[in-house]
Structure 1
Amino acid sequence: MYIPFDQLPPQARLWIYQADRALTEAEQEEIKPMLERFATDWSSHGKGLQASASLLHNRFLVLANNETVTSASGCSIDKSVAFVRELEQRLGVSFFDRTRLAFLKDGEVQVVGMNELKNKVAAGEIDGQTLYFDTLVNNYGELQDAWPRPAQQSWLSRYF
C-alpha cells in the first residue's frame, strides 16, 4: 500500500541510494511514477507493505516502509534492490557506489571520492560542520531532523 512520502511516521525504515550523478528533470519525471508503482506493489510474504519512495536533491533515491504495519523481509528487500538495479540500467546511472560521499556546500550537492576525503579535510575544504548526506540514516524521523547533518555527527567524525 502506497503512502505519500511526507506522511510517513518517524519510525518508518529507510533505504537511501545515492546516484553517481544528478538526475535530469526528464529522468526524474520518468521514474517518479515507477517509484509510486513499486511502493504500491511492494510486499513481504504476500502482504502489502505500507511503503513510499522519493527522489531528494536530484540525486538520492529513498525507499521507505512503515515497519509498525508490516516488516520488510529479506525477500522484499531483495525485490527493492532488483528494482533499483533496473533503474540503474534504464538511466545509465549507478546507485550502489559507496566510495563517493555527498556534501551540501553553497546550496549544491558536491560529491567527493573516499580517496580524496583526507586531502579535502587537510585543505579545510571539508570540516566537521560541513553538511553530509549520510546514506546510513535508517528512519524517516532522522531524515527529517538531521539530513544532511554536520559531518562530525556521522561516521565521518573520525576524520576531524
Structure 2
Amino acid sequence: MWISFNQLPDTARVWVYQSARPLTDAEVAAIETDLQPAVDGWAAHGTPLLGSAQLLNNRFLIVAVDEGHHLPSGCSIDSSVRWVREIGQTLNTDFFDRSAAFVTADGSIETVALPQIKTAVAEGRLTPDTTVFNNLVATKAELRNNWQIKAADSWLKRYFKNVAV
C-alpha cells in the first residue's frame, strides 16, 4: 500500500539506490509514475506492505517500507530490486554500481571512482570536509540525519590519515 514518504515513521526501512548518471526531470516524473502502482501492489506472503519511494537530487532512488506495519520478506525485497533494475534498464542507467563515491562539489553531485580516491585526496578535490552520500543508511531517520556526511566521518576517513588538515 502506497503512503506518502513523509508519513512513514522514522523507523521505516530504506534502501538507497544511486543512478550512474543524473536523471532528467522527465525521467524522474516517469519513475515516480511507475513506482506508485508497484509499491501499491507490494506484498510479503500475500500481506500488503506499507511503503513508499522517492527520488532525490535527480540521482538517488529511495525505496522504503514501514516494518512496524508488516515485515518485508526476502521475496518482497527481491521484487523491489526487480523494479529498480527494470527502471534502470528502461532509462539506460545503473542503480547498482557501487564502484564510485558520490560527493558534492561546487553545489553539484559528482562521482569519484573508487580507484581514483587517493588521487582525488592528493589533489585536494576530496577533502575531510567534502560532503559524501552515505547510501548505506538503513532507516528514514538515518536518511534524514546521516545520509549526507563529511568525508572525515565516512568510510573515506582512512584516506585522510596522512593529510594535513
The TM-score normalised by the length of structure 1 is 0.96
The reply on whether 1:9 has 2:9 as its aligned counterpart is: yes
Q: Secondary structure at the match of 2:70?
A: coil
Q: Please give the TM-score of this superposition, normalised by the length of structure 2.
A: 0.93
Counterpart of 2:104 in structure 1 is: 104
Q: Which amino acid aligns with 2:158?
A: R
Distance 1:28 1:143 in 2: 20
Unaligned runs of 5+ in 2: 161-165
Residue of structure 2 in register with 1:119 after alignment: 119
- The residue aligned with 2:88 is 88
What is the alpha-carbon distance in structure 2 between the residues aligned to residue 130 and residue 40 of structure 1?
38
**Matching residue of 1:38:** 38
Query: Structure 1 runs of 4+ off > 3 angstroms?
Result: none
In the other structure, the counterpart of 1:29 is: 29
Q: Do residues 57 (structure 1) and 57 (structure 2) align? A: yes
Mind listing any 5+ residue stretches in structure 1 that lack a counterpart? none
Is contact 2:134–2:146 with CA below 8 Å preserved after alignment?
no
What letter corresponds to residue 129 of structure 2 in structure 1? Q
TM-align CA RMSD: 1.0
Matched residue count: 160
Q: Which residue identity is paired with 1:108?
A: S
**What's the offset of the Cα at 1:116?**
0.7
Q: Percent identity?
A: 44
* Alpha-carbon displacement from aligned partner over 1:90-129 (angstroms, at most 9, x marks no partner): 1011111100211012221011100111110111211122
Separation in structure 2 between the aligned mates of residue 115 and residue 68 of structure 1, nearest angstrom: 40
1:32 maps to a residue whose letter is: E
| TM-aligned CA deviation for residue 152 of structure 1 | 1.9
Q: Which deviations, in whole Å up to 9, do the C-alpha atoms of 1:63-102 show, x marking residues without a partner?
A: 0011111111111111011111110111011111100211
Deviation at 1:146, TM superposition (A): 2.5
Q: Which stretch of the first structure deviates more once superposed, 15-24 or 146-155?
A: 146-155
Residue 76 of structure 1 corresponds to: 76
CA distance in 1, matches of 2:87, 2:138: 21
Q: Which moved more, 1:89-98 or 1:142-151?
A: 142-151
The separation in 1 between residues aligned to 2:7 and 2:100, in whole angstroms, is: 30
